Chains A and B, each alone.
Chain A
């Protein structure tokens, strides 16, 4: 069972909800907060958000299933998201994706057994001048090659 939001987060949530003339508009901001607090969006978290906003949980589910950044399953401590769009593939991201698959021993969409890494392929991250690029959690890394990937991953505890 989800323990609920902390007191501090509840205060933040009240402020966020007050921005909008219709409460439901706060669904995405609240889901971001929930994901930050609990790591992913469980059905319990959906219910929590629904209760705060006075709506049915299915309304929250509808939103959660539309957006790729909202994770419905637990993910690893580090979420590696590699761009598989055009500027990055032109500069060799497919080879780097293969390299990461081998290095981590997982396929895109999977998490390592030690729950340290989740690997995902994503569309354009808006950092094409640094192609090939990826995000680890919310940090951007660009101009990647195998060596640089090794260094980045080695630096993650």
Chain B
């Protein structure tokens, strides 16, 4: 596939090793960036319309631009927590292409005047954390990290910090708390991390895939990047497809590729003998789409128009043999387990809904139950400190709305 950029060398056995990476033109982007002015880099990334690949889709260049020019240390935190159910793309990037991430980290840090970067990686990815450390150590040896990077005078240290099992730590302020050695309880915003972040200092937080796109923007220019995707949403996305499809896996495709094509053309269609019922298009938090709603371009704005979200571009395919009540059980179990407990609507609401769903599955549901679920979920939506509350309410509300008849058949 000619569209592949982040994943184009995934087939090469030793691409994760620095020598192989350098042979393929690796670290040329860093060399070029260090010859540029930081503001030129920022302008290029802004022009590229590189939007956050973690879920929220916030333009990276604008985020970097928020960092104040103050006489304080500044930090870069790479969000490698990858906990959104259905998402596994960053695992592939970090294990197959760790140096492209490191290049992105170096360029971003140079652009924002950062000298310390942390990669916060979910605890379960132990093997990948080791691979990252190997890559970092290789980059130090070659002079791409450390005190005087490529004789430019620019200094940067990069450290890997492992989480320990908590979905909430993928939320950026919970990630900061966790990195500071605390429970992963999200912070009230504002202040935003760009001004008051890690250790109370200005901090940029970006997803692995977002930052991994930076080197190619520097090498090929913003116009090239925008042409890869859409004017307001540049580049490719690594779509992760799982669930009831013939060929689950990652597919790097231009932003705006149709969801229908991703499922049918690339992922081999719904599993043989099964029929499509619903699709979760952007990780579990994204409102569900019905089978007749998948003829849609996969970009942030189109998904918003369809009252769902692109999120982490993790596509979960559900077939007609699956009960949506069972899906609702899994969804509500997850959020009630992962709620940090700070905000009452989320803490109580998610577990309450989960109890109702379980009761319905046991055949003890009552006519009022679905309305009660809708009432509780609506009370979570917009009433919590962090987006986990919304992330729980959105799929619940979409399932109860779009599959109400099926849910009622269980009563």
A residues adjacent to B (C-beta < 8 A): 19, 21-22, 24-29, 31-32, 53, 59, 62-63, 66-70, 84-87, 89-91, 122-131, 135, 138, 140
Contacts and interface: CB of A to CB of B under 8 A. Distances in A.
A67 B85 contact: no
Contacts of B162: 28-29, 32
Interface in B277-331: 280, 284, 314, 316, 318-319, 322, 326-327, 330-331
Contact of A86 (B180, B181, B316, B337): B316
B183 A32 contact: no
B243 A67 contact: no
Given A85-B85, A131-B243, A125 B124 contact: yes
Interface in B213-269: 240-244, 248-250
Given A26-B181, A63-B181, A128 B87 contact: yes
Nearest to B201: A21
B124 A69 contact: yes
Chain B contact residues: over half helix, strand or loop, or mixed? mixed
Contact of B163 (A59, A67, A87, A90): A67
B12 to A, nearest CB: 20
Contacts of B167: 123-124
Contacts of B70: none
A120 to B, nearest CB: 10
B164 A126 contact: no
Contact of B82 (A24, A63, A126, A138): A126
A155 B354 CA distance: 38
30 contacts: A19-B159, A25-B180, A26-B181, A28-B161, A28-B162, A28-B163, A32-B123, A66-B166, A66-B183, A66-B184, A67-B164, A68-B164, A68-B165, A84-B333, A85-B334, A86-B284, A86-B331, A87-B248, A90-B243, A90-B322, A123-B334, A124-B85, A124-B86, A124-B334, A126-B124, A126-B125, A128-B88, A129-B249, A131-B248, A140-B127
Given A28-B178, A31-B164, A87-B242, A128 B248 contact: yes
Tier of interface size on chain B: 35 or more
Nearest to B271: A91
B199 A127 contact: no
Given A28-B161, A129-B88, A129-B241, A124 B83 contact: yes
A86 B85 contact: yes
Contacts of A124: 83-87, 167, 284, 334
Contacts of B124: 69, 125-126, 135, 138
B165 A87 contact: no
Contacts of A69: 123-124, 164-165
A60 B199 CA distance: 18
Contacts of A126: 82-83, 87-88, 90-91, 122, 124-125
A87 B87 CA distance: 10
B272 interface: no
Contact of B85 (A28, A128, A129): A128
Contact of A91 (B180, B240, B243, B338): B243
B243 A138 contact: no
* 7 nearest CB pairs, A to B: A128-B242, A67-B164, A68-B165, A69-B165, A27-B181, A124-B85, A24-B181
Given A21-B73, A28-B181, A126-B91, A91 B123 contact: no
Nearest to A65: B183
Given A22-B180, A32-B162, A128 B86 contact: yes
B166 A68 contact: yes
Contacts of A138: 124, 126-127
A76 B16 CA distance: 34
A21 B72 CA distance: 12
B37 interface: no
Contacts of B86: 86-87, 124, 128
A46 B73 CA distance: 31
